[in-house]
Structure 1
């Protein structure tokens, strides 16, 4: 009996000894290139002798992990989708603890050889408040502009006119390198001088924290440009040609030393953007109909140059000075054929309207930034920045009507535009980790925007051009926005939370000088934000967020002038527009299932004083202008996934469904209705023998209803083929966008007194490109390094 108790006692002592012998392993996982923490990376621990798994965990929002093991003879495998798995062996324990410090993961396909060959495949990272789409060498992006790259990003759609939508809604704020930029403004060609080869990644932020500018009711899209971080001279060159004419040469150079990082990008190109259009305006009261059909062009010769330097004063102080210059020369030869018919469909008149437009668009941007890293913590920093941008446009157009039959429609008309926009942004951002679990941020921002638009319309009276005083004016637009913000984040064991509040004061004035019409607005608003993330298991996490956003009417929404290219379908601005506000909520779940990752989300947006484009009709002429009309409530579901069904195949998908309810009225007309829309995108990539890659992307966007019209659905496809050369240093790529020329935008307004139909088609684009990367020296550690502790 005593012997049995003795054995029992020994067993208890042994178990207690084992329990007390648990060893602890800690570390922090970051992206090798950016130094940013990798959230939800998987950390598996295995027995060094048996190779059997003995435990595991995932990293928190700061990339940190802690796990325990009963033996010190172990090794770790650290992995995250889109990154190369890293194995850590021969761990060193002291008093039962092993602190591995900073553990860097490199993107799949990244090389540490001299040549700066980047990951071939794009991948998406999911973080607490954003998704990061790392732009690889996707075949469908060969020779593409930033707009076309954006159209491959989950949740983002770009329509045929270049309007960017996020989850089916407009009001998106576009940033470049986290800041407003002249090359991402609405003036001129949006993002027209940025090509895919220049882009590092695209960040989609559907519920931005209070740290970000509150502009953009649907969220923020941040385009991050490449800036090489190797010592020595590095660079890349790309040459592209296409049909219709789409030719460009781009060069990126970087020279890095211990104290300086000099970076530059140069580009020159020419492209034709044809647009086939068809329109019908039917006056059901008189029975007359005006129809038009033609081809419109926007041809551009463009230049782009970026020059900048980082000066490392010392390990903790860096000054960055950079400048961007872009110059576009536009030519818009267009022709539309018009027909006027009566109620019995008899032709009363037919004529052609031809346009000759020339324009020059210089754009400048300068930035000065100072960053101070404090010694007590790696994430304790202060950033001061000043950005100045200038965009101008000098455009002249002449329109000529030539009668082909019937009623005389001959006439000539000229327009002139002298436009200038200057914007200055001043920011201060301060981040302070209180401890390893809590971080606070605070800062301020002041933006000034000044616009002058001298616009004139002249009609030919048979002898000379006479200025039309009703269509000639000088439009001044001035806006000042002062903002302050504060955020706080705290990390529990499995739960991370972040709260923020931003206050903004907006002072806006508009003035039509000739007629002395003015509109002054001054308003102050609060913009709270909240985000949380909870790790249910190593493979499942849930995120929730809220933010309040604002959409301020922009210049072209307020500017009452128009381009009379088609003087029967006119678009104008509304100087009296008010801002719209949106409360946005969403819950997102992340699942890691072996080689498959899933991201499923539910979201809702409630918007007041919604800006809608309303069309009025008179004498077969439609005039479309933005108006504030009521409220809109949108509820949606979204699914993104990536899977590797075979070693040679990768499939990514994106699906979105939303239901919306509109309520409002204008001048006694009710615009109440409910409708839905959905979209899907599927990309399949194949790694073929002989270093060939092939990919195909299909997209579908459903039809949907607006306050006045019904917009038709679209189904289209892109494909690409690539052959690697020179041991991966170079590549030849071939791509076709809109393979079947099926990306047609159609809309119909069908009312008792009027009927309007419009149709636009860009057509098929074929591109052949060559790229080559060169460089030397070791990977630079100085600026990109992260200090421990």
Structure 2
């Protein structure tokens, strides 16, 4: 622990080194800000230097603990403005410069509650409101004038968190679908952090949807965040370049550009890097009938080199029509080594055999995606729109693995195996959405979507017979999976100033087929379903609003759930798929409130979810070998509470807490055995952000995940912390950043399967990741972080 504190102090010390350069024509401004009532110093008051010609800010700073400040400017003509929330603002026009210095002395400002009230009434302060099935965060002047990026603005939205690496989560869960102006965009694509090129003055509002209506896919997600940009987009060039290095091996470089003209908005991002993911692994297979067991201890490291390129453009035909074309290309080179020692013990706990299993896996992964969209607005009604889109995603993997078993104890035979995978996947989506408001308070939405998923996986496992490798026909096949989903929806809504109601229904027709070519085993499924939804909200006051919602959701088994391919990394612990798997269906009910008390904003939600045909992994055990595959087993009823609170006591300190608790009841039978049980699960995350003098930002994130049980397993609890720090230099155009994931190397993955006839334990740990980055922004954009993280 002492070493950890020393490490944090070292980080702060390193980041405290200021760059000092001597420049001609620099004016140094000093002074001290105090209160009028008692003469006490005001910490974190804002001192701004602005252009006298266009009244735009040039540079600024905040006062330190004793109320003093110092800043520099090279502008020839400027004004100085001193302000603090709840106090009058003082302005100094054409200040007197003596020998390149301005000393304002002691500046006294007094409280002005009337001015503060006027700001709130005029809607200049950012605030959150309910609107039927969504929460809306309106970006006020307090944020839009800061020059911050979209990622920083998202951090001010209740229940939304963006860590220092740019990963976005909603109510503590990742996997959020990001939209720009109501449609997918390369700018918001998870392949990079291009949101850093959007500045706060471009954003009108941010919409958060936690229980999607019938307008959206019935497939469940953790939520939707839609960033609505102002129509009066400013022209210019935004961009950033970032260089990262880290331990373990983590090096990347990223470049982002965004160019806006009268007709075009051109955006691009390029990244190149290399990362290593080490892991320590342990397994135990224990036969409780004869008390024999097999254990393994090993290490692995996955090395990835990647290249990523995003290109796109918005073409504004006129004020009412825009066409968007974008594309993404990525290529990954993978090489993975693993080395594990397997030992066999008899009932007397005496070792009988041991061998060392080594693996070398190589793979190449090309990825392509494209998107074509057309959006039409209608004159006279900004809410009326037509959106047409076509998207495609293509992914391939060419992978081969060599396995070698070398006997180290006992009379076992050495063995060699090989596996290969030739995989390809293509996903296409075609959409049409139309929104038509009428009579001011009513809105109709309708649309359709057609989605195609096409997969082919040619896999084989070969054994060495002493002279050559021979394919094992029982473990070699070509798996084909095709899924087509047609969806049609309609919603209608009424909304007044205080109350609203939205009802909708979605119809989806699913056509799914799988085929194992070598054995000619096929499985076809065709089903169609209605997915109703209903949402209502009521505003009791500016500080209290309620929202209730219902939707029916579906989980369709994914390719890896269906694919019967065997992973033979550990021949005693095998995972496979199930081509006969059926979809899950969930009825989701949710009641949520927004409540504000002073500087605290809270979201409290209660939910109930009823799921049928629950997909769970079932383990079968024979000859000390466990085989895990997914099955549909019974129903699940879950009741829970989701709580989020954000407390910002000052403009330099904030706390965010996400808390989730659920109690579930399982009912099901499999192979004549009852699997009825009850359980609890909870998790919490506490985020502390500090804005220190000299443009330091610190971030501490503590995570805790309780233990919980599944059908057969007990999942161990988890407690770990992440740390981030950054410092702005060169007037905010450059950023130095440090990220430490899993500071105390305490994050683990452990599952225990304790059944009447067998006991299994699976444990893995990756350890601490440290990354240092330097980012430089140019044009109107701030510097941004390009994490260079892996994206699947």
TM-score by length of 1: 0.79
Give the structure 1 partner of residue 398 of structure 2: 394
Q: Distance in 2 between matches of 1:339 and 1:223?
A: 53
Give the structure 2 partner of residue 517 of structure 1: 521
Give the structure 2 partner of residue 449 of structure 1: 453
SS in 2 for 1:728: coil
Q: Distance in 2 between matches of 1:651 and 1:54?
A: 24
Q: Say yes or no: does 1:247 pair with 2:279.
A: no
Cα-to-partner distance string for 1:378-414 (whole Å, 9 max, x where unaligned): 1111011111221111111111111111131411111
* Closer/same/farther in 2, CA of residues 118 and 507 from structure 1, 3 Å limit: closer
Give the structure 1 partner of residue 427 of structure 2: 423
SS in 1 for 2:216: coil
* Matches for 1:477-496 after TM superposition, within 5 Å: 477-496=481-500
* Closer/same/farther in 2, CA of residues 82 and 580 from structure 1, 3 Å limit: closer
Q: Distance in 2 between matches of 1:425 and 1:548?
A: 21
CA contact (8 A) 2:480 2:516 kept: yes
Give the structure 1 partner of residue 721 of structure 2: 717
Q: Distance in 1 between matches of 2:724 and 2:558?
A: 37
Give the structure 2 partner of residue 504 of structure 1: 508
CA shift for structure 1 position 693: 1.8
* Closer/same/farther in 2, CA of residues 746 and 198 from structure 1, 3 Å limit: farther
* Closer/same/farther in 2, CA of residues 773 and 379 from structure 1, 3 Å limit: same
Aligned equivalent of 1:79, options 114, 118, 125: 125
Q: Distance in 1 between matches of 2:149 and 2:576?
A: 48
CA contact (8 A) 1:273 1:298 kept: yes
Give the structure 1 partner of residue 659 of structure 2: 655
Give the structure 2 partner of residue 551 of structure 1: 555
Give the structure 2 partner of residue 281 of structure 1: 285
CA shift for structure 1 position 78: 3.6
CA shift for structure 1 position 134: 6.7
TM-score by length of 2: 0.78
The runs of 5 or more residues in structure 2 that have no matched partner are 1-85, 87-111, 130-136, 783-792
CA shift for structure 1 position 277: 1.0
* Matches for 1:375-386 after TM superposition, within 5 Å: 375-386=379-390
* Closer/same/farther in 2, CA of residues 461 and 54 from structure 1, 3 Å limit: closer
* Closer/same/farther in 2, CA of residues 431 and 77 from structure 1, 3 Å limit: closer
CA contact (8 A) 2:125 2:142 kept: no
Aligned equivalent of 2:157, options 125, 147, 156: 125
Give the structure 2 partner of residue 211 of structure 1: 215
* Closer/same/farther in 2, CA of residues 644 and 112 from structure 1, 3 Å limit: closer
CA contact (8 A) 2:302 2:335 kept: yes
Q: Distance in 2 between matches of 1:662 and 1:756?
A: 22
Q: Say yes or no: does 1:566 pair with 2:612.
A: no
SS in 1 for 2:655: strand
Aligned equivalent of 1:740, options 739, 744, 757: 744
Give the structure 2 partner of residue 155 of structure 1: 172
CA shift for structure 1 position 193: 6.1
Cα-to-partner distance string for 1:229-288 (whole Å, 9 max, x where unaligned): 542322111111111111111111011111111111111111111121111000111222
SS in 2 for 1:125: coil
CA shift for structure 1 position 76: 3.1
Cα-to-partner distance string for 1:276-312 (whole Å, 9 max, x where unaligned): 1111000111222111111122211111111011111
* Closer/same/farther in 2, CA of residues 244 and 439 from structure 1, 3 Å limit: same
Cα-to-partner distance string for 1:6-39 (whole Å, 9 max, x where unaligned): xxxxxxxxxxxxxxxxxxxxxxxxxxxxxxxxxx
Q: Distance in 1 between matches of 2:186 and 2:568?
A: 26
CA shift for structure 1 position 197: 5.4
CA contact (8 A) 1:82 1:124 kept: no
CA shift for structure 1 position 641: 0.6
* Matches for 1:167-186 after TM superposition, within 5 Å: none
CA contact (8 A) 1:310 1:321 kept: yes
* Closer/same/farther in 2, CA of residues 596 and 683 from structure 1, 3 Å limit: same
Q: Say yes or no: does 1:461 pair with 2:493.
A: no
Give the structure 2 partner of residue 763 of structure 1: 767
Q: Distance in 2 between matches of 1:552 and 1:442?
A: 24
Q: Say yes or no: does 1:329 pair with 2:330.
A: no
Give the structure 2 partner of residue 615 of structure 1: 619
CA shift for structure 1 position 153: 4.2
Give the structure 1 partner of residue 52 of structure 2: none
Cα-to-partner distance string for 1:56-88 (whole Å, 9 max, x where unaligned): 999xxxxxxxxxxxxxxxx735423499xxxxx
Give the structure 1 partner of residue 240 of structure 2: 236
* Closer/same/farther in 2, CA of residues 659 and 211 from structure 1, 3 Å limit: same
Q: Distance in 1 between matches of 2:428 and 2:497?
A: 42
CA contact (8 A) 1:316 1:373 kept: yes
CA contact (8 A) 2:149 2:196 kept: no
* Closer/same/farther in 2, CA of residues 52 and 308 from structure 1, 3 Å limit: closer
CA contact (8 A) 1:287 1:343 kept: yes
SS in 1 for 2:542: coil
CA contact (8 A) 1:487 1:498 kept: yes
CA contact (8 A) 1:240 1:770 kept: yes
Cα-to-partner distance string for 1:333-377 (whole Å, 9 max, x where unaligned): 111111111111111111111111110111111111111111130
CA shift for structure 1 position 647: 3.7
CA contact (8 A) 1:109 1:120 kept: no
CA contact (8 A) 2:685 2:704 kept: yes
Q: CA RMSD in A?
A: 3.1
Q: Say yes or no: does 1:271 pair with 2:275.
A: yes
* Closer/same/farther in 2, CA of residues 252 and 378 from structure 1, 3 Å limit: same
* Matches for 1:577-592 after TM superposition, within 5 Å: 577-592=581-596
* Matches for 1:130-141 after TM superposition, within 5 Å: 133=160, 135=162, 138-139=163-164, 141=165
Q: Distance in 2 between matches of 1:636 and 1:104?
A: 29
CA contact (8 A) 2:332 2:364 kept: yes
CA contact (8 A) 2:271 2:309 kept: yes
CA contact (8 A) 1:109 1:118 kept: no
CA shift for structure 1 position 642: 0.6
Give the structure 1 partner of residue 474 of structure 2: 470
* Closer/same/farther in 2, CA of residues 55 and 134 from structure 1, 3 Å limit: same
CA shift for structure 1 position 529: 0.7
* Closer/same/farther in 2, CA of residues 649 and 431 from structure 1, 3 Å limit: same
* Closer/same/farther in 2, CA of residues 53 and 329 from structure 1, 3 Å limit: closer
Q: Distance in 2 between matches of 1:723 and 1:488?
A: 48
* Matches for 1:608-687 after TM superposition, within 5 Å: 608-687=612-691
